[in-house]
Every structure is written in structure tokens, then in C-alpha cells.
Amino acid sequence: MENGTSEGRYLFEFDGVSAVRSSEVSGVKITHEEFELYESNRPNPHLGRGHYKVDTINVKHAHALNSTGQEVFQWMSDFIRGDNVERRGARLIVLDEDGQTPVDIYELLQCVPISFAAETHTGGGKNASMFTFAIRATDMQLL
């Protein structure tokens, strides 16, 4: 018997925020901008280590159980108002089809909140409230 992919395949752990499960994550990407050095009449450049940045990570359909959604919203609210501008560490844990076994773990360093949005709520829904948020890290490592 095969297991399908689990809805809660992604798990986020934040400093100071409960764990968040979500069904979609995008933007887990580092971009490097190399420098070019042209020498004399050489037709192509020497390439060297330049600058890099971590893209904005978008988390969709995050499950807000207990006060998790409020904690993420409060972090963003405090940060943009200047009440608490502490950068937080986070871990993105990609889970196997069973929704239990870690496949990859990304360590996200010195994250800042970028956006928060509550998703549609319905009176007849039986699922947990969901929200979407985005963060940006200063650096990222694959553990």
C-alpha cells in the first residue's frame, strides 16, 4: 500500500513560536552573484566569489493550531512597529510522504518577517484555521 503525500509535509520551527505545519513552501533558494575579472585581451572573464542572498520564503496553508497563528502575527506586528526587532532563527523540516520522517532540514538564520495573511475562514469548516506568511533569512544551511 502506498502513502500519498501528506498535507502537512512541511514543518517550521521558530525561536519563540510554536511549530507550524504547512502544505506548500516556496522560495527556498540562495542566489550567488559572482564577480567577473577581465584580464588583458582574454576573451572570457575570471569568475570569483561575489555576493549572495537568500530569497523570500513563502509558506502557504500553515495550520494554526492553538495560538500559533497569533504568535506569527504578533512577531510580525512587533517587528514592523519596532517594538521588538529581534531576528529569529527558524528550521524548515521537509517531511516524507508519511508526514513524520524528516527528509531535509534547512537552518534559516536571522530571519525577519515579510508578510502575514489569514486565509479564508468558513463557518462550516472542520479544519484548523490557516494562514500564509513569508520570511527572509540572512543565511541558510542544509543540515
pLDDT of residue 64: 64
Task: In whole angstroms, give the CA distance from residue 54 to residue 4.
Answer: 31
The full set of domain ranges for the chain reads 10-27+55-142
Q: What are the CA-CA distances from residue 83 to residues 16, 39, 76 (Å)?
A: 15, 51, 10
The answer to whether the CB of 132 falls within 8 A of the CB of 60 is yes
Q: What are phi and psi of 98, to 5 degrees?
A: -75, -10
Calculate the dihedral angle through the C-alpha atoms of 9, 13, 19, 25, rounding to the nearest 10 degrees.
-40
How does pLDDT run across 69-100, given as a tens digit for each residue?
A: 888 889 999 999 999 999 999 999 999 888 78
CATH class of 10-27+55-142: mainly beta
What is the pTM for the complete model shown? Answer: 0.81
Q: Beta partners for 130? A: 63
For residue range 29-51, list pLDDT tens digits in order: 999 999 999 999 999 999 999 99
